A and B are shown apart, each in its own frame.
Chain A
Amino acid sequence: MNLSVGRRSAGRWGSPRASGAERGGGWAQTTHRAAAAIALAALTAGCTSAVEGPDPAEKPAAGTLRILASSELVDMKPVLDQVHKDTGITVRPTYIGTLDAVDLLAKGRAKDAYDAVWLSSNDYLRLDPAAAKQVVSQTPVMSSPLAIGVKDATVRKLGWKPEDVTWADIEKAVRDGGLTYGMTDPSRSNSGFSTLVSVASGLSDAQSALTDADVKEATPRLTDFFKGQKLTSGSSGWLAEAYDRRGDVDALLNYESVLKSRKDLTVIRPRDGVVTADYPLSSLASTSQQVREDVRRLTEALRAPGTQRLITDRTLRRPVVPSVPPAAGLDTTRRRELPFPGSRSVADGLLDAYENKLRRPSRTVYVLDTSGSMGEDGRLGRLKKALTALTGDFREREEVTLMPFGSAVKSVRTHVVRPEDPRSGLDAIRRDTRALSAEGDTAIYTSLQKAYEHLGADDDTFTSIVLMTDGENTEGASPAEFDGFYGRLSADERRIPVFPILFGDSDRGELEHIAELTGGRLFDAQKGSLDGAFKEIRGYQ
């Protein structure tokens, strides 16, 4: 096997980021700023997590290219296997979100650790001069436009002719017809970011590249549009699972290649334009001539007609050489390419607006094991540090409930990050965090039931539960009792996912079952860090 996955970052979207606590207590100043800006500015200082440095096993080696890659490129495995046979070049991807990659490059942390960058697009990268100068030779390898995949029945109900649908039509269907959809989090996922830019360009009256004024003017329409968003996710994979599980969401926004791989959706590229991912492969400027020659050979092999045919047939992305036609079923009529914002301030302003104003706010209960065992090995200290760091990442309007438990739930403290005074809510969360103490047994299921009761059915927010435990259930309701409890919840309440975090001596099977039952996802803080797990879950809240 020649496609190996970076051990610590396998299968993840955003890289686990470093703790905000490590940046020296600046949270109070930054909490009211954009979640995105915080993610970029704050969370990587003193970075100790996965994408910072290579594993010993990932030292430079001739014929092996260490590539920072968008996670959807995992589907390129058969193609890269073929390229390996043809050229002898081995690709070692480390998966990362676009914003994280740009940040890593800008801070000079990618050089020496990686040889090349392969993101869905370099548009955002180009806006950051410090990051842009770290890469050379950007060559597009394949392309996929952003699109909306709509249930066939919904398309009929709306009376849509797919080739004529515009962003305004989609907005109207959301407003008048109650069209609902899922999309990934733009701060963590490439597809979400492309979605945001496409929607904002499509719904503003801007005829050219977006400006701050355009974003402001379009805010009311965008707010309406994002009322239709019923699912958010840190990854395209979980988004699809959540979509299937719910069954009542009408559409998904993602790259055409992702949507086309499902058979149940009518894939529409809005006729007034989309943003297209062109997957440029770039060498890092810091690499040797030999490495750059290998990257050039890899690029050439990927752009060879035979490989391009393989790419389009296997991944449903579009070829980038004129001699190879796109796979059957990919509509070849042209679409306008919406210009990508020309400045970092516009791009970040858009992200800021999305996280803090446009999207539905989230309500989250943190069910936190503070049983006696948390007093060992500095576990409680790590929890406090991770939670405190997380306060730099909460969005405006977000409701956060801390529910520490031991033999039973110890307290239920709810705080809201109010736009007019975000600091007071965040200060309160930090205060409550400091007050946590380790004592008692471990009543996981009883506490989870409490969390469900607390949240109730709520269609106006993204509701979810984070469960952090360092041990097995020893007190209160049994797993079977919880299953029964969950089964008796209303359909709306059953849509609240639990995101368990594997930590300390917690039982993987037990937590996996909870994730599966509730439609959540398990995060591993035994291999990775607790900080990283908390941060990664942000994409799902």
Chain B
Amino acid sequence: MRRIIAIVLAVFLIGGVAAAVVAGREDQDSSTATKTVRGVIGSEKAEFFADPDVVKALAAKGYTVETETSGSWAMEGLDLKGYDFAFPSSQAPAGELASKYHVRQPLPRPFYSPLVVVAHRSAAEVLAGNGLATLAGKGGDKGNGTLDMKAYLKAAEGDRTWQQLKGADKHGELSGTLFISSTDPTSSNSGALYLAAASYVADGGRVADGAAAVDRTAPLMRKLISVQGSQQTSTDAAFRDFVSGVGNPLVLVYESQVAALLAGGQGADDLVVLYPDTTANSDHTVVPLTAEGRALGELLGTDKELRGLAVRHGFRPQGAAAEFTAATDAHTTYLNQTLTGVRQVPVPASKVLHEMARRARD
């Protein structure tokens, strides 16, 4: 018992971001037919597991799921004894966890979401006018587009300011160094994936594989992070700030956050979603620690109702592109449903990415 308390506490101390949720507690009390499955999850999935419809769908399949949140990269530091599964938001930490706990491959990867940059229209248009982005639609009238990562990194390397870009002077808020806000890469997955994608581009299309590769891109990675000053520690908070109209005009978030906002019927005002032409996916990967954990992980990917609910929360189910497309048809203004023109890059091994993040924050 004592150990469990320690674990739970550690989860909160280390990376907990969204309020923790005990899903389906009532079912647990009232039904003897359900199995209680406990897991540590990335914060961006907390709302999914808290959704009463998800709780109901899981209960119908005989599961009560209790979750605690943790930063995906912090899970490696936890003692996961007593848990049935871990559910980080990226393959790399999942792989590390799998080898640490001798988990049989393949790991269930029920859904994924690409990293995107949310921008206000003014900023997106200035980027487009200066060859840093392309906007979709006739005359760029749509709420999505593509960010040219090579051009962006070149601008970052040269300390390009908004003032140096044509058309920025029409918008008072566009001044100072041009940069994308990310979360802290040492603790949060999206910040780390930002470095994964940027280093891939900066190193001529190579995935960093060791110290030499980290060295080659370290100055630029450091620049990308240090210009930002204080960073949010969770993607959730970064996105909320953007939606609130507070903060930098360019913010790195998960596509699932945007899609969930749109699915919830919230107004998007002058939002433009820029898909980096080279980006990293957040592959939500289940690391089963028990047979029940594996069964749940499989269920999330195979059960049609649960897949539908995942889509409602903005995630793209693996191997079921049509379901995401159908569900988001009303929001094609903002979403690039087929990810046309977007290349997904592999993420460096956990150890390498950690080192890259550490050097960038130094």
B241's partner among A140, A334, A335 (CB-CB below 8 A) is A140
Contact B247 A207 (CB under 8 A): no
Contact B228 A208 (CB under 8 A): yes
Query: Which A residues from 259 to 318 make CB contacts under 8 A with B?
Result: 271-273, 276, 278, 280, 283, 285-286, 289, 292-293, 295-296, 299, 318
Query: Which B residues from 1 to 51 make CB contacts under 8 A with A?
Result: 9, 12-14, 16-22
B228's partner among A137, A143, A295, A339 (CB-CB below 8 A) is A339
Complex Cα–Cα for A340 and B232 (A): 11
Contact A136 B12 (CB under 8 A): yes
Q: Does A481 contact B (CB under 8 A)?
A: no
| In the complex, chain B residues whose CB is within 8 Å of the CB of A278 | 241, 244, 246
Q: Does B325 contact A (CB under 8 A)?
A: no
A143's partner among B22, B233, B245 (CB-CB below 8 A) is B245
Contact A208 B244 (CB under 8 A): no
Complex Cα–Cα for A518 and B261 (A): 55
Q: Does B243 contact A (CB under 8 A)?
A: yes
Contact B176 A208 (CB under 8 A): yes
Contact A123 B171 (CB under 8 A): no
Contact B244 A285 (CB under 8 A): no
| In the complex, chain B residues whose CB is within 8 Å of the CB of A321 | 243-244, 266
Contact B177 A293 (CB under 8 A): no
Q: Does A210 contact B (CB under 8 A)?
A: yes
Range for the number of chain B residues in contact with chain A: 35 or more
Contact B13 A133 (CB under 8 A): yes
What's the least CB distance linking B180 to chain A, in Å?
12
What's the least CB distance linking A119 to chain B, in Å?
14
What's the least CB distance linking B31 to chain A, in Å?
20
Contact B231 A342 (CB under 8 A): yes
| In the complex, chain A residues whose CB is within 8 Å of the CB of B232 | 126, 138
Q: Does A10 contact B (CB under 8 A)?
A: no
Contact A336 B173 (CB under 8 A): yes
Complex Cα–Cα for A243 and B314 (A): 51
Q: Does B120 contact A (CB under 8 A)?
A: yes
Contact A139 B229 (CB under 8 A): no
Chain B 228-255 near chain A by CB (<8 Å), digits 1 or 0: 1111111011001101111111000000
Complex Cα–Cα for A292 and B16 (A): 12
| In the complex, chain A residues whose CB is within 8 Å of the CB of B177 | 207-208
| In the complex, chain B residues whose CB is within 8 Å of the CB of A341 | 229-230
| In the complex, chain B residues whose CB is within 8 Å of the CB of A340 | 229-230
Q: Does A37 contact B (CB under 8 A)?
A: no
What's the least CB distance linking B75 to chain A, in Å?
15
**Closest A residue by C-beta to B161:** A207
Complex Cα–Cα for A338 and B229 (A): 9
Contact A339 B268 (CB under 8 A): no
| In the complex, chain A residues whose CB is within 8 Å of the CB of B268 | 322
Contact B228 A136 (CB under 8 A): no
Contact B16 A137 (CB under 8 A): yes
What's the least CB distance linking A317 to chain B, in Å?
11
Query: Which A residues from 39 to 98 make CB contacts under 8 A with B?
Result: none
Contact A276 B227 (CB under 8 A): no
Complex Cα–Cα for A138 and B232 (A): 9
Q: Does A3 contact B (CB under 8 A)?
A: no
Complex Cα–Cα for A393 and B232 (A): 32
Contact A207 B176 (CB under 8 A): yes
Contact A209 B233 (CB under 8 A): no
Choose among A210, A285, A286 the residue with the greatest number of B CB atoms under 10 Å from its CB: A285
Q: Does A132 contact B (CB under 8 A)?
A: yes
Complex Cα–Cα for A210 and B228 (A): 9
Contact B16 A273 (CB under 8 A): no
Contact A295 B246 (CB under 8 A): no
Contact A209 B20 (CB under 8 A): no
Query: Which B residues from 35 to 87 make CB contacts under 8 A with A?
Result: 69
Q: Does A323 contact B (CB under 8 A)?
A: yes
Query: Which A residues from 109 to 156 make CB contacts under 8 A with B?
Result: 123, 126-127, 132-134, 136-140, 143
Query: Which A residues from 168 to 219 make CB contacts under 8 A with B?
Result: 207-210
Contact A334 B243 (CB under 8 A): no
Contact B19 A137 (CB under 8 A): yes
| In the complex, chain B residues whose CB is within 8 Å of the CB of A133 | 13-14
Contact A335 B172 (CB under 8 A): yes
Q: Does B97 contact A (CB under 8 A)?
A: no
Query: Which B residues from 173 to 188 make CB contacts under 8 A with A?
Result: 173-177, 179
| In the complex, chain B residues whose CB is within 8 Å of the CB of A293 | 19, 21
Q: Does A421 contact B (CB under 8 A)?
A: no
Q: Does A492 contact B (CB under 8 A)?
A: no
Contact A209 B266 (CB under 8 A): no
Contact B245 A323 (CB under 8 A): no
| In the complex, chain B residues whose CB is within 8 Å of the CB of A285 | 9, 12-13, 16
Given contacts A139-B240, A207-B161, A323-B266, contact A342 B174 (CB under 8 A): no
Contact A276 B246 (CB under 8 A): yes
**Closest B residue by C-beta to A163:** B172
Complex Cα–Cα for A333 and B122 (A): 12
**Closest A residue by C-beta to B123:** A334
| In the complex, chain B residues whose CB is within 8 Å of the CB of A138 | 232-234, 237
What's the least CB distance linking B346 to chain A, in Å?
29
Contact A320 B172 (CB under 8 A): no
Complex Cα–Cα for A136 and B71 (A): 11
What's the least CB distance linking A294 to chain B, in Å?
10
Contact A342 B172 (CB under 8 A): no
Q: Does A459 contact B (CB under 8 A)?
A: no
Q: Does B267 contact A (CB under 8 A)?
A: yes
**Closest B residue by C-beta to A326:** B245
List, sorted by A's number, 12 A–B pairs whose CB atoms are closer than 8 Å.
A126-B231, A132-B233, A138-B233, A207-B161, A278-B241, A278-B244, A293-B19, A321-B243, A322-B243, A334-B171, A339-B228, A342-B226
A-binding residues in B (CB < 8 A):
9, 12-14, 16-22, 69, 120, 122, 159, 161, 171-177, 179, 226-234, 236-237, 240-241, 243-249, 266-269
Closest 7 CB pairs of A and B: A209-B229, A339-B229, A320-B244, A208-B227, A334-B173, A208-B177, A296-B19
B-binding residues in A (CB < 8 A):
123, 126-127, 132-134, 136-140, 143, 163, 207-210, 271-273, 276, 278, 280, 283, 285-286, 289, 292-293, 295-296, 299, 318, 320-323, 333-342
14 additional A-B residue pairs with CB within 8 Å, beyond A207-B176, A285-B9, A334-B249: A139-B236, A140-B244, A208-B229, A273-B173, A280-B237, A289-B20, A296-B19, A318-B244, A320-B240, A334-B171, A335-B172, A336-B176, A337-B248, A340-B229
